[in-house]
């Protein structure tokens, strides 16, 4: 994992936002999943930085970035950072929540986006109603409401294997790293804290009309509803394609980093 000393800080209008900026070449932005930080991309950053400029932010409220004190949208935070860095159009690679941020940014700030890769997500308009997703969301809410951090962490880690396995099937080092990041982020917040995040709406129709290349990469052990939504997105946009990483769940970049990196680099070289 990258040391905190490697991070730079962007002074946004509502506190400092942390980001890693390494390598050189065409810019690729890595957007992490919820409750963790840029370190979830530890296996991707060096592989990409050998030929690309890699920007990996901690989104607001996560990792080393400031919490919100006023209404905000992650897509607007990202747009402000990219304009500050004068990157020009970038490739956005988003994992889970980061995938939603990527498609939100494409919808709201299309001039900043050259291509999009989503993993474990499609757009914020898509809601998953399968029993597994509903149960996990209920566990999250109960644990947060009770202020039970250990129960919340247990629910958080259940997402990692997907609905067809248990956490006992996951490499303990992967779970340990995710738990460390999630505990650091959740500790930045207090029970009952106001959620200032403003969702971006109407994204599916706008993203579906995009002309930029879109790649969806998902673990083969994800819920069928999510996989179907990813296939639908890839089949709807003008230049879309999809890839399934067999034998992995919500974090194929962690479970099979070599396969994930090869797919990502192949996509980038084809742009």
**pLDDT for the residue 4:** 53
Q: Any residues with CB less than 8 A from the CB of 152 and at least 6 apart, and which?
A: 140, 143, 144, 186
The band of 264, judged by pLDDT with boundaries at 50, 70 and 90, is very high
**pLDDT for the residue 140:** 86
Composition of the chain by helix, strand, coil, percent to 5:
45, 20, 35
**pLDDT for the residue 23:** 97
Q: Does residue 191 carry a pLDDT above 90?
A: no
Domains and CATH numbers, the chain: 4-127+198-269 (3.40.50.1820), 131-186 (no CATH)
Q: Does residue 1 carry a pLDDT above 80?
A: no
CA distance 229 to 89: 26
**Structure confidence by residue, pLDDT tens digits, 56-68:** 999 999 999 999 9
pLDDT greater at residue 127 or residue 66: 66
Q: Any residues with CB less than 8 A from the CB of 265 and at least 6 apart, and which?
A: 47, 48, 51
Residue bearing tokens 């769940």: 249
CA distance 80 to 76: 6
For the chain, what percent of residues have pLDDT higher than 90? 89
Identify the burial level of 40 via C-beta atoms within 10 angstroms of its C-beta, where 0-12 means exposed, 13-18 middle and 19 or more buried: buried
Length of the chain: 271
The band of 115, judged by pLDDT with boundaries at 50, 70 and 90, is very high
| Lowest-confidence region among 28-42, 184-198, 216-230 | 184-198
**Structure confidence by residue, pLDDT tens digits, 71-93:** 999 999 999 999 999 999 999 99
**pLDDT for the residue 143:** 87
Q: 228-231 — which CB contacts under 8 Å span 24+ positions?
A: 229/122, 229/126, 229/128, 230/118, 230/122
Measured N-to-C along each axis, helices 97-108 and 74-85 cross at an angle, to the nearest 10 degrees, of 70
**CA angle at 17 for the pair 12 and 20, rounded to the nearest 5°:** 130
Q: Does residue 5 carry a pLDDT above 70?
A: no
**pLDDT for the residue 180:** 97
Instruction: Give mean pLDDT, residues 24-50.
Output: 98
For 140-201, the three-class secondary structure string (H helix, E strand, C coil) is HHHHHHHCCHHHHHHHHHHCCCCCCCCHHHCCHHHHHHHHHHHHHHHCCCCCCCCCCECCCC
Q: State pTM to two decimals.
A: 0.97
Q: Does residue 146 carry a pLDDT above 90?
A: no
Q: Please name which of 117, 145, 77, 83 lies closest in space to residue 213, comparing C-alpha atoms.
A: 117
Under a CB-based contact definition with an 8 Å cutoff, are residues 196 and 71 in contact? yes
Whole-number average pLDDT of the chain: 95
């Amino acid at each position: 994992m990258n040391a905190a000393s490697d991070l730079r800080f962007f002074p946004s209008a509502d506190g400092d936002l942390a980001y890693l900026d390494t390598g050189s070449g065409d810019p690729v932005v890595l957007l992490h999943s919820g409750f963790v930080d840029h370190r979830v991309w530890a296996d991707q950053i060096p592989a990409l930085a050998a030929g690309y400029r890699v920007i990996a932010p901690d989104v607001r409220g996560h990792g080393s970035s400031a919490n919100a004190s006023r209404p905000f949208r992650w897509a607007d935070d990202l747009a402000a950072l990219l304009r500050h860095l004068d990157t020009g159009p970038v490739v956005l690679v988003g994992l889970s929540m980061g995938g939603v941020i990527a498609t939100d940014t494409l919808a709201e700030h299309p001039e900043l986006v050259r291509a999009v890769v989503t993993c474990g997500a499609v757009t914020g308009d898509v809601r998953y109603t399968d029993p597994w997703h509903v149960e996990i969301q209920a566990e999250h809410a109960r644990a947060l409401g009770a202020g039970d951090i250990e129960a919340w962490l247990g629910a958080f880690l259940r997402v990692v294997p997907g609905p067809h396995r248990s956490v006992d099937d996951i490499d303990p080092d992967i779970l340990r790293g995710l738990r460390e990041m999630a505990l650091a982020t959740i500790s930045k917040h207090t029970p009952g804290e106001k959620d200032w995040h403003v969702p971006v709406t109407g994204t599916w129709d706008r993203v579906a009309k995009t002309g930029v290349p879109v790649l969806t990469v998902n673990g083969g052990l994800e819920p069928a509803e999510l996989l179907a939504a990813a296939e639908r997105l890839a089949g709807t946009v003008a230049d879309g394609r999809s890839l399934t990483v067999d034998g992995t769940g919500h974090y194929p970049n962690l479970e099979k980093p070599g396969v994930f990196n090869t797919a990502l680099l192949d996509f980038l070289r084809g742009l």
